[in-house]
Amino acid sequence: MADQNADLDLDVVVVGAGFAGLYLLHRLRGMGFRTMVVEAADDIGGTWYWNRYPGARCDIESVDYSYSFDPELEQEWEWSERYATQPEILRYLNHVAERHDLRRDIRFQSKVNSARWQDDSSTWKIGIDDGTELVCRWFVMATGCLSQPKTIDIEGVDRFTGPTYSTSRWPHEGVDFTGMKVGVIGTGSSAIQSIPLIAEQAAELTVFQRTANFSIPAHNGPIPPERLAAIKARYPEYREEARWTRGGVVRPPATEGVFMVDEAERLARMEAAWAEGNLIGFLGIFSDTAIDPVANEVVAEFVRNKIRGIVDDPDTAEILCPKDYPFGTKRLCLDTDYYATFNQPHVHLVDLRQDPFSTITETGIDTASRSFDFDAIVFATGFDAMTGAIVAVDITGKDGVELKDKWDHGPVTYLGLTVTDFPNFFAITGPQSPSVLSNMAVSIEQHVEWVSDTIAAMREQGFTAIEPTPTAEAGWQQHATDCADLTLISQADSWYVGANVPGKPRVVLPYLGGVDGYRQVCNDVVEQGFLGFELTGAEGTQCNDGVIRRMQPDVSMVLGIMDEMGLPPIESLSPEDARAFMEVSAAARPPGPDVGEIVDGTYPGADGDLAYRLYRPATPG
């Protein structure tokens, strides 16, 4: 290995010093790899460095949205709130960086512009904006899913002569809106968090909304001491349970659909979830809201009625009620008094569906029917999610293949981690991995550990390059698509599908098979001798081609529900008993859509493959 690495500046270059980059640096360095993190900002933090807008905080509970790799840190750190604010999360990350002496291997104020694979030496040449070039064996993008601000595509955006602010790049010194007339464009997550606080200062606040978003109350506050003590008493077990849940948070899975309980019980469960204020918990009240449009509408209407009960003006309430996409197919938000803010006399809402933008002017904003003058404008317009930060770097693989060209019609990966034609390249929480549909801390740690363990295995076995096969990549693409098609997610024009960025291919970006199922897939790949990968080195080539998941996710879902309900494996049932189970299940909900496709397949049983027939609906879900 010494000769193979003689001309290397580093073993690994990591782009990004947020949650992922810090842990990756710590783990790789502990394994003896020469690692450097390259970070565009002047300090660590990633998304929590840049996103400093009023009210910015995590939407996963602090005890879950934190590292598990340092047991002493878990016991020592005391979160002040159930949902920590941006300053507290940044203090936590700074503490981690200092505790493990990470800054000495981070190059700040350095932007990676390019990365080019050199086939003759099995290395990457990394170009930095100051002209520096680094040569490394492995190249990892840990730039985060929501780190590339979306270009603001409103006419006249540069004409306004007053101060403008973006929630994605908020001034470090903060902003005082006292006495100002302020316009806020957008009603997504950052707007929902910041609008109540801006309203506390502004003399007049006007919010411009194109698409209403579902939000539930966070009920934030100090973590009850008894809950914190109970978690800390068994943190290792608690973390391990989280790793094997669908969302990366410890919660019992829902096993009953909306119509499997009576109306009173249904309402009671939704009221309890509303009172709890937990994003993943609310999304998982019932087992079928992500896949059944009729069941979904029940929960959606419950939330709409809550909005109507909070907002005094009926017209304003209806504008704030999402009605043109299923619940949960856009990012569900957590808020503190967001809807109640619109009851204040100095806060106004403009429905851009009815009164669209005309232009931004020197003094404010013109819509089709009105002119507004402002002292300041806030853009809460979101991100080029999941792929934006990756393709912002000119990444060139084998034979001159450009990653941005390969992804021109949407991202193509194997496991959301690797890409054919790009050896030794990894993306942490990349597209086609659970990422934004999970507790990101759990997904980040799983990816970091898989990547670092893979690199260590390559070193041990004498391999210098790893690359997914076209067969494996195509198989994962199909599997990820099948998982998405099972749900309603594609029915919303959301950043989950790239619809918020003009010209971006419309494809489902995250993996919808769950954190637990995804972790099992990644484990299976390794246990089957790096199934789907070709590894090369001085001693030769190892190629274990194949597809890691062949079973239709529809079938996996049914089998999983049966397992969670404690029912016997379906292969142990007689055909009559299996049909009876399906009939009872079907009778508990309204009639479904017409059959659109019949799929025959097999899945592994104790005594060999078992045949199944899948009747897939003609409409999504």
Per the domain annotation, does 358 fall within a domain? Answer: no
> What is the CATH number for 66?
3.50.50.60
User: Same structural domain for residues 441 and 468?
Assistant: yes
pLDDT in tens, 541-560: 999 999 987 666 766 766 66
Instruction: Measure the CA angle with vertex 462, ends 460 and 465; round to 5°.
Output: 110
Q: What is the pLDDT of residue 4?
A: 46
Q: What is the mean pLDDT of residues 54-60?
A: 98
- The secondary structure of 436-480 as a DSSP string is GGS-HHHHHHHHHHHHHHHHHHHHHHTEEEEEE-HHHHHHHHHHH
Per the domain annotation, does 158 fall within a domain? Answer: no
With CA atoms as reference, report the closest residue to 352 among 325, 329, 381, 332: 381
CA–CA distances in Å: residue 70 to residues 73, 96, 246, 249, 286: 5, 9, 23, 18, 35
User: Same structural domain for residues 493 and 561?
Assistant: no
Q: What percent of the chain has pLDDT over 70?
A: 93
pLDDT at 6 exceeding the cut of 60: no
CA–CA distances in Å: residue 188 to residues 184, 193, 301: 11, 9, 19
DSSP state of 252: P
pLDDT in tens, 97-127: 999 999 999 999 999 999 999 999 999 999 9
Q: What is the pLDDT of residue 374?
A: 99
**Domain hosting residue 583, numbered range:** 553-617
Q: What is the pLDDT of residue 294?
A: 96
Per the domain annotation, does 108 fall within a domain? Answer: yes
Average pLDDT of the chain, as a whole number: 94
Tokens of 176: 């005082």
Q: What is the pLDDT of residue 589?
A: 59
User: Same structural domain for residues 569 and 612?
Assistant: yes
User: Same structural domain for residues 425 and 570?
Assistant: no
User: Same structural domain for residues 471 and 599?
Assistant: no
Q: What is the pLDDT of residue 447?
A: 99
Alpha-carbon span 536 to 119, nearest angstrom: 11
Contact 593, 619 (CB under 8 A): yes
Contact 327, 214 (CB under 8 A): yes
User: Same structural domain for residues 436 and 502?
Assistant: yes
Contact 148, 82 (CB under 8 A): no
Per the domain annotation, does 414 fall within a domain? Answer: yes
CA–CA distances in Å: residue 195 to residues 189, 212, 305, 378: 10, 14, 21, 10
pTM: 0.92
Per the domain annotation, does 397 fall within a domain? Answer: yes
Q: What is the pLDDT of residue 620?
A: 64
User: Same structural domain for residues 579 and 539?
Assistant: no
pLDDT in tens, 463-506: 999 999 999 999 999 999 999 999 999 999 999 999 999 999 99
Per the domain annotation, does 336 fall within a domain? Answer: no
Tokens of 12: 């690994």
Tokens 């309203």: give the residue: 199
**Residue 34 CB neighbours (<10 A):** 16
